[in-house]
Amino acid sequence: MIKYKDKYRIESTRLPSWDYGSNAPYYVTICTKNKQKYFGKIVNNKVELNDLGKVTQKSWLAIPQFHSFVEIDEFIIMPNHLHGIIVINKPLETQFLASKIHLESVETRYIASKNTNKSETQSVASLQKNKFGPQSQNLASIIRGFKSGVTQYAREHKIAFHWQSRYYDHIIRNYESWEMVRQYIQQNPIDWLNDKEFIA
């Protein structure tokens, strides 16, 4: 842990050498607080979303309306969490076309950290000035805006709802990995009882 303004904070495990505003596909998992099942239930291996779940789904699909450089790939809203692939594709950088995927640029731009096996990370607010410039167009700002929208809806409709404060992200660096993540997301409802996020 590190100390900031006389308070101890958990250090971020995000890759320090990676610009999270750069073009790449990112696999993210966002959970509700204490893994409460706010969004619906699984019936016959299919997700049945309640009203808040439907709003959450609609809000996720609406992300490109607020961030024109974002493309939404495979995703699913589960009873107490969300899995999704966000593709950052800024036109001023090398075009990143999901229809003709070629990830060599992502792989070569990736600079290995001291622990290259920890590509899954937990996002927390940075305590230092980010060397990659303004953070209004990065993964954290995208997720923050999405979570805020769902929370605002819940408050307006007097729904007792809270997100987990963090989210998990993974930089997808090749086509095979992308396909594996897609399959995992698609199979999530079927594997619900064995899911690490499952709570009876």
Q: What is the DSSP string of 81-133?
A: EEEEEEEE--TTS----GGG---HHHHHH----S-TT--EEE----SS--TT-
Rounded to an integer, what distance in angstroms lies between the CA atom of residue 175 and that of residue 107? 11
Every domain of the chain and the residues it spans: 20-110+119-127+134-192
Structure token digits, residue 155: 């408050």
For residue range 157-192, list pLDDT tens digits in order. 999 999 999 999 999 999 999 999 999 999 999 987
Does position 154 have pLDDT exceeding 70, yes or no? yes
On the CB side of 10, how many CA atoms lie within 13 Å of its CA?
A: 8
Q: 20-110+119-127+134-192 domain in CATH 3.40.50.720?
A: no
Angle at 69 between CA 137 and CA 156, to 5 degrees: 70
User: pTM to 2 decimals?
Assistant: 0.74
